[in-house]
Amino acid sequence: MAELVLTNSHDRTAAYQLDLGLVDIRVWDHVVVGYEGYVSFAERGWL
């Protein structure tokens, strides 16, 4: 079901910047939720 949700470059850029520590929080995952499912950046190895 996760394959039905698309991410865009803004989603990936935001997750990447958070992962780099450009903000003062620890990121374990970045999840994009859509009507028909979700995409976990951690599950896909994008973080």
Inter-CA distances, 36 with 2, 10, 12, Å = 8, 20, 20
> How far is it, in rounded angstroms, from Cα 16 to Cα 8?
13
Q: What is the pLDDT of residue 1?
A: 45
| pLDDT tens string 1-47 | 445 556 677 777 877 777 777 667 777 888 888 888 999 989 999 87
Q: What is the pTM of this model?
A: 0.50
Query: Tell me, what's the pLDDT at 15?
Result: 74
The structural domains of the chain, with segments of one domain joined by +, span 2-44
Sign, CA dihedral 40-33-29-12, equals positive
Torsion on CA atoms 25, 29, 33, 38, rounded to nearest 10: 180
* Vertex 27 angle, CA 25 and 28, to 5°: 145
